[in-house]
């Protein structure tokens, strides 16, 4: 009489790994398995286009309850990709220069309309033994990037061209805020602001958190862009940067706005027009 060989018993951890699900799901007795599986597919579709989305932005994108999004993502082991930091140099300090006599005009300021306060900054992108510099202008109310410029050098020309790019599409703001980097301290840049009747505002020296809007933007932007050296040519990198800014403005849900910045700006514009018609 032949003796059957019993298959070795697998641990739940190993079984979950083979099935591509979380270990917890093996204990879960779903009341609505079909709906959960359908939602899983919808979440995977969202994550394929928005790799940094956590459950809150997934819920906003699909217009569902955040707790349900979190439960299903946890059930099937769906997670946003983790941010990977790559080494970059710190911004050079302006050695020996006294702080500018320009106050921080936006600290504690209530900003309730677009194009009242813009913030400006630039960042370093390492690229095959050199650095590419990206300067951006962001509207504080809509969180939209309204202007940007790329250069092989960080100087006044870089930040001035980013501002002029924004002014090609939008009316000048009342205030533009920046740090006290030499690029913004230059008299040519301050004269440019004066020519458009824009008031300069600056963070205190050594206080990057006072320009937190731009710091937050660059954090997410760099993660979504990926390491610059995955783009073989300079032209491809510039195109990727352009596409990433377009994605941020038009498709990436901003957690504070519950929608992409450009959509928030459009909603505000339509609401303002409707209110003005009612008043008339």
pLDDT (tens digit per residue) in 205-239: 766 666 788 888 998 899 889 899 999 999 999 99
Q: What per-residue confidence (pLDDT) applies to 189? A: 97
Are 65 and 127 within one domain? no
Q: What per-residue confidence (pLDDT) applies to 93? A: 46
Q: What per-residue confidence (pLDDT) applies to 179? A: 92
- pLDDT confidence bin for 56, thresholds 50/70/90: confident
- Whether 191 is in a domain gets the answer yes
- Whether 97 is in a domain gets the answer no
Express as a percent the part of the chain with pLDDT over 70.
Answer: 83
CATH code assigned at 138:
3.30.420.10
The secondary structure of the chain, three-state, reads CCCCCCCCCCCHHHHHHHHCCCHHHHCCCCCCHHHHHHHHHHHHHHHHHCCCCCHHHHHHHHCCCHHHHHHHHHHCCCCCCCCCCCCCCCCCCCCCCCCCCCCCCCCCCCCCCCCCEEEEEEEEEECCCCEEEEEEEEECCCCCEEEEEEECCCCHHHHHHHHHHHHCCCCCCCEEEECCCHHHHCHHHHHHHHHCCCEEEECCCCCHHHHHHHHHHHHHHHHHHCCHHHCCCHHHHHHHHHHHHHHHHHCCCECCCCECHHHHHHHHHHHHHHHHHHHC
Are 36 and 147 within one domain? no
- Whether 103 is in a domain gets the answer no
Mean pLDDT of the residues in the chain: 85
Are 29 and 138 within one domain? no
pTM (whole model) above 0.75: no
Instruction: List the domain range (segments joined by +) for residue 37.
Output: 12-75
Q: What per-residue confidence (pLDDT) applies to 86? A: 54
Are 67 and 122 within one domain? no
Are 17 and 133 within one domain? no
């Amino acid at each position: 009489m032949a003796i059957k060989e019993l298959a070795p018993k697998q641990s739940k951890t190993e079984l979950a790994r083979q099935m591509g699900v979380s270990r917890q799901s093996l204990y879960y007795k779903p009341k609505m398995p079909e709906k959960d599986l359908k939602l899983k597919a919808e979440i995977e579709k969202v994550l394929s286009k928005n790799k940094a989305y956590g459950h809150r932005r997934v819920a906003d994108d699909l217009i569902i309850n955040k707790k349900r999004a979190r439960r299903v993502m946890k059930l099937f082991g769906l997670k946003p990709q983790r941010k990977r930091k790559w080494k970059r140099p710190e911004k050079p300090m302006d050695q020996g220069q006294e702080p500018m006599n320009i106050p921080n005009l936006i600290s504690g300021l209530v900003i309730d309309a677009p194009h009242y306060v813009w913030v400006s900054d630039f960042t370093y992108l390492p690229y095959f033994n050199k650095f590419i510099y990206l300067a951006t202008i962001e509207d504080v109310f809509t969180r939209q990037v309204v202007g940007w410029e790329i250069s092989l050098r960080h100087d006044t020309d870089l930040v001035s061209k980013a501002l002029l790019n924004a002014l090609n599409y939008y009316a000048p703001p009342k205030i533009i805020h920046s740090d006290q980097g030499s690029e913004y301290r230059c008299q040519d840049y301050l004269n440019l602001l004066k020519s458009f009747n824009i008031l300069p505002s600056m963070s205190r020296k050594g206080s990057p958190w006072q320009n937190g809007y731009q710091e937050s933007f660059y954090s997410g932007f760099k993660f979504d862009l990926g390491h610059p050296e995955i783009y073989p040519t300079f032209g491809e990198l510039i195109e990727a940067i352009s596409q990433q800014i377009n994605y941020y403005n038009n498709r990436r849900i901003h957690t504070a706005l519950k929608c992409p910045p450009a959509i928030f700006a459009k909603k505000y514009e339509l609401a303002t027009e409707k209110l003005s018609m009612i008043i008339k």
